[in-house]
Structure 1
């Protein structure tokens, strides 16, 4: 079952990773602290979705995780929950290849193509925003 976690971010990672050949990082200096929101979202897709204003379409039901897609007028985003922290960490380790930003809480992750929405969700859900650098070539800077 853990093998599925390795390939899962391939299909589910949302983020704009601009890898520079450096290994992915979840260095605490690159993690923003959650505000005093006073809310710690439970690890249940439907509850997290409700707190962010959507009704999720459940895409994955597995022993290691549940994942729902939220579609709003503003943005599409994924909510992934895990029965144990070790599964969340394995998922994040796999997602690190793609880079990007993720809102991470206790046994849950929210990913979106527009990282600015994660800050908005952080005020509702708590958690921290993790910046994963990714690996691979980076687009060349424009000369114009």
Structure 2
């Protein structure tokens, strides 16, 4: 049993380690001081029925890439897509509770994520998420992040 916990802990830590890569280019905020996430409206993507919930490979195919699986664990699977336009991560979860735990953990980093039924897409270029949403459905969530916010400058 300790080995299973170690593997699960390692998978979660590895997933969170890739999170800063996925959010490195995001602005981290839109001037909204509210905490938590702010989902965009749901779009009715034609392929969404195929995706929710889906495998990393299915989502990758719908977004035009072949994912390289980075994490394979009981709580999640994560694949990296590398294209000429953008690098992005596709994370799928066997249960909704694991997705929510992942989002709660990611909230400290902030950033934008495309969130569907038991899956999340995160991109270095968050503006690409809108195009993915047209193909996959889901909602775009802005996670605020924690830490100091810029205060007024002294004149």
TM-score, normalising length from structure 1?
Answer: 0.84
Q: Which runs of 4+ in 1 moved over 4 A?
A: 1-6, 139-143
Cα displacement (A) at 1:43: 2.0
Residues paired across the two proteins, number? 139
Q: Distance in 2 between matches of 1:101 and 1:18?
A: 9
Q: Distance in 2 between matches of 1:99 and 1:141?
A: 21
- CA distance in 1 between counterparts of 2:150 and 2:13 reads 24
Which of 35, 40, 56 lines up with 1:32 in the alignment?
A: 40
CA distance in 2 between partners of 1:5 and 1:96 (Å): 18
Q: 5+ residue gaps in structure 2?
A: none
Cα-to-partner distance string for 1:48-81 (whole Å, 9 max, x where unaligned): 0000000000000000000000000001000000
Q: Secondary structure at the match of 1:98?
A: coil
Instruction: From the CA coordinates, give the structure whose radius of gyration is larger.
Output: 2
Report matched runs for 1:1-144 at 5 Å: 1=5, 3-4=9-10, 7-13=13-19, 14-15=22-23, 16=26, 17-18=28-29, 24-26=35-37, 30-40=38-48, 41=51, 42-138=53-149
What TM-score do you get using the length of structure 2 for normalisation?
Answer: 0.79
Higher relative contact order, structure no. (Cα contacts within 8 Å, ≥ 6 residues apart): 1
The answer (yes or no) to whether the contact 2:66–2:81 under 8 Å persists in 1 is: yes
Q: 5+ residue gaps in structure 1?
A: none
Work out the CA distance in 1 between the residues paired with 2:150 and 2:11. 28
After superposition, give the CA deviation of every residue in 1:70-127 in whole Å (9 maximum; x if it has no partner).
0000010000000000000000000000000000000000001111100000000000
